[in-house]
Chains A and B, each alone.
Chain A
Amino acid sequence: MLKLPCPSCGAEVIFQSSASIFSVCNFCKSMLVRRDKNLEDLGKMADLLPDISPLQISTEGKYQKVNFGIVGRQILGWENGRWNEWYIFFDDGRWGWLAEAQGFYMISFRETLPVNFSNHQEFPVGRNFQFKDMAFAVEDRHEAWILSAEGELPSLSPPDKKFESIDFKGPQSEFACLQFFDEGPELYLGEYLEFDDLHFNNLRKLEGW
């Protein structure tokens, strides 16, 4: 656990995961990036948009018998709406993303990019690919952008900057996502899960629910 002062307001900024490079200051909403022992201020993050998500930072869950906690969040937008990507940190030191979209939950982990994945022109919808001995089909491609964020994050695309996101569907409940940023493409591999499969606790209190 690392604690550093916010360069804008002085408040304590906590990093629970060593993979977290970015953070949004809880108090002044400044976007901060770690540079050696200091934090650099990149500007103000847009306000979070109200929603009825049952998850929040500090919600805990369990996946594949290992406990995890939510430490950060990105709200992503696309042409047809928006969804949440919760940054989760596991007890065994791993980190991953918990996507929450229209009542669907997906957990994914960053994968090293195979050599041939560099050009997003090569992924038309319907094309099949092999990753890790599984056949994946390109299901959907769309542009996405960060609307808002909070907590600590492993990466942070500049707000409102569009990036290409390609979704792949695996043989069972697996899925993969390839995203193209200025710094290079990132590949995530994961699966769809039911709410009950994740054994959540410390959920956000929802009025009327």
Chain B
Amino acid sequence: MGSETPSSLSCMKCGAPISLRAPGLTLVIACPSCGALNDVTNPNIAFLIKANQKTPIKPLIPLGRRGKMEEILYEVIGFMRRSDASGIYTWDEYLLFNPYYGFRWLMEYKGHWIFYKMIKDNIEITPYSAIRKKVAYKRFLVGKAKVQYVLGEFYWRVQLGDTTKVYDYIAPPEILSCEEDGSEKIWSHGIYVEPKEIQAAFQTTFPLPKPIGVGACQPGLGGKSSDSFWLVFILFFILLTFVQISSSTMCRDEEVWSSNNLLLTADTDKVKTSPSFHLNQKIADVKISSHASLQNNWIYLNLDLINEDDGKIYPMGREISFYDGYDDGYWSEGSTHDEVFISSVPEGNYHLVISPEFPADLSNEIVDIKIERDAPNWTNYVIFSLLLLVGPLGLQAYKMWFESKRWQESDLPG
């Protein structure tokens, strides 16, 4: 047995010397040689608590390693693997010690890390939340925690198989956890820590496991990023609108030619040609609008804008079709109107060649065709505005997905 003082002792099982990292505070220590749990406070009684498991576990941060968390240096003095009641889901807890500041815990589950500090404040409990210092934490999980494996030393008489009830409440990146052991309730406040911070603080030799899913209190992108996305959208939208309005007002929008009730006759596909017209401005767009009061019918217009000066042809194929009816309510498909823009058409003399195609039952139909020079084009503006919305809406969708992944780990229904 040897002489035992509370800063070092001999293992009750194998006799190996054991020295304590937290003498005066540690009650139980697992022998580094044989794993047997020794009760430090009863050296005269051969108090050997249940021996440790056969398969050794290698913690991600070894015992004795020191690291700084929130500006304070801690030493890893204990390691515990716990599971839920079923024993299927396990997580690891590292007991950190600093003689001036006391104990802290680092919990690791599926690659996510939480730094915990035990607290003494009063916490208000409601059925679905816990309130501390005016912050409400949402109820996330109520379950059991069972000790599966221990290494190192602990400030209470831990035994394998010890089971406590655990309540978790979240306010990402913070978490409040309550551990209930009979009538004793211990509250801890935790904060999410990125694996790279743990790696840097404790100089872990091997890369830490990559986080799986979303951690209980893992911070999402937060309200601020959402605000900035909307701000960027609004700024660009205002800019886009300003550019659109100014360019639209600067458009001269001259009507160059109008068909004046072009009649589609039974002489199939008779080609009609507009008179020559002059397009002013060195370079600008051309807008061709077509209209036909169709009812459940279609017209296909082959339009060729021909530059008489250099022979260049701008071919277009436009369809005007409109169908409607009653089928448990009114429905309609298509439009009686069509518009097409050709951009960057140079100045010069032009005419339009119209070759209509239409079904046999449609004749004596009137088609109105109008050509405008330098007309304001709003289509691109609408497209760009919608594209801009992809940013903030995409972020919204991501946040919803992120939160749904977080709550998958919760035990609350739905």
Q: Which residues of A contact B (CB under 8 A)?
A: 49-54, 80-82, 102-104, 125, 140, 169-173, 175, 192, 195, 203, 206, 209
* 7 A-B pairs with the lowest CB-CB distances in the bound complex, closest first: A103-B102, A51-B24, A50-B7, A52-B99, A192-B120, A54-B100, A54-B99
> Of A82, A104, A195, which is within 8 A of B120 by CB?
A104
**Are the CB atoms of B6 and A49 closer together than 8 Å?**
yes
- Is A172 within 8 A of B24, CB to CB? no
Find chain B residues with CB under 8 A from A195 CB: 100-102
Cβ–Cβ contact B24 & A209, under 8 A = no
Q: Is the beta-carbon distance between A50 and B103 smaller than 8 angstroms?
A: no
Query: What is the distance, in angstroms, from A146's C-beta to the closest C-beta of chain B?
Result: 15
A50 to B24, Cβ gap below 8 A? yes
> A173 contacts B99, CB within 8 Å?
no
A102 pairs with B155, CB closer than 8 A: yes
- Complex contacts, B7 vs chain A, CB 8 Å: 50
Distance of A147 from chain B, by nearest CB (Å): 10
A50-B6, A53-B24, A81-B41 given; A102·B157 CB < 8 A: no
B31-70 Cβ-contact flags toward A at 8 Å (1 or 0): 0000000000100000000000000000000000000000
- Please give me the residue from chain A that is nearest to B122 by CB atom: A171
Min CB distance B28 to A, Å, is: 10
A-B pair count, CB < 8 Å, reads 62
B246 to chain A, nearest CB (A): 60
Contact of B156 with A52 in the complex, beta carbons under 8 Å:
no
B142 at the interface (CB under 8 A from A): no
Known interface pairs A81-B155, A172-B122; A103-B103 also in contact (CB < 8 Å) = yes
**Distance, CA A102 to CA B27, complexed state (A):** 12
Q: How far is the CA of A81 from the CA of B7 in the complex (A)?
A: 14
Q: Is the CB of B25 within 8 A of A51?
A: yes
| Least distance between B334 CB and chain A CB atoms (Å) | 72
Chain A residues with Cβ below 8 Å from B41 are 81
Whether A52 lies near B122 (C-beta < 8 A) is no
SS of B interface (majority): loop
**Assembled-state Cα–Cα distance A203/B99 (Å):** 11
Q: Are B99 and A209 in contact (CB under 8 A)?
A: yes
* Partner-A contacts on B (CB < 8 A): 5-7, 22-25, 27, 41, 98-103, 118, 120-122, 155-157, 183-184
A206 in contact with B99 given A81-B25, A173-B120 (CB within 8 Å): yes
Closest to A137 in B: B122
Does A169 contact B27, Cβ atoms closer than 8 Å?
Answer: no
A173 touches B121 (CB 8 A): yes
Alpha-carbon separation in the docked complex, A171 to B124 (Å)? 11
For the complex, give the distance between the alpha carbons of A53 and B25 in Å: 9
Residues on B with beta carbons closer than 8 Å to the beta carbon of A52: 22-25, 99
A contact residues around B122 at 8 Å (CB) = 169-172
> Residue B156 contacts which of A80, A172, A203 (CB distance < 8 angstroms)?
A80
CA distance A172 to B121 in the complex (A): 6
Once the chains are docked, how many angstroms separate the CA of A125 from the CA of B182?
12
Given contacts A50-B6, A102-B103, list 5 more A-B pairs with CB under 8 A: A51-B24, A53-B99, A80-B156, A102-B118, A209-B100
A-B contact pairs, 30 of them (CB 8 A): A49-B5, A49-B24, A50-B6, A50-B7, A51-B6, A52-B24, A53-B24, A53-B99, A54-B99, A54-B100, A80-B156, A80-B157, A81-B27, A81-B156, A102-B118, A103-B102, A104-B120, A140-B184, A169-B122, A170-B122, A171-B122, A172-B121, A172-B122, A173-B120, A173-B121, A195-B100, A195-B102, A203-B100, A209-B98, A209-B100
Minimum CB–CB distance from B352 to chain A (whole Å) comes to 85
Among the listed A49, A80, A171, which residue makes an inter-chain contact with B27, where contact means beta carbons less than 8 Å apart?
Answer: A80
Instruction: Chain B residues near A82: list those with CB within 8 A.
Output: 24
Residue of B7, B103, B122 contacting most chain A CB atoms (<10 Å) = B122
A192 to B117, CA, bound (A): 14
Nearest B residue to A84 by beta-carbon distance? B24
Q: Find chain A residues with CB under 8 A from B184 CB.
A: 140
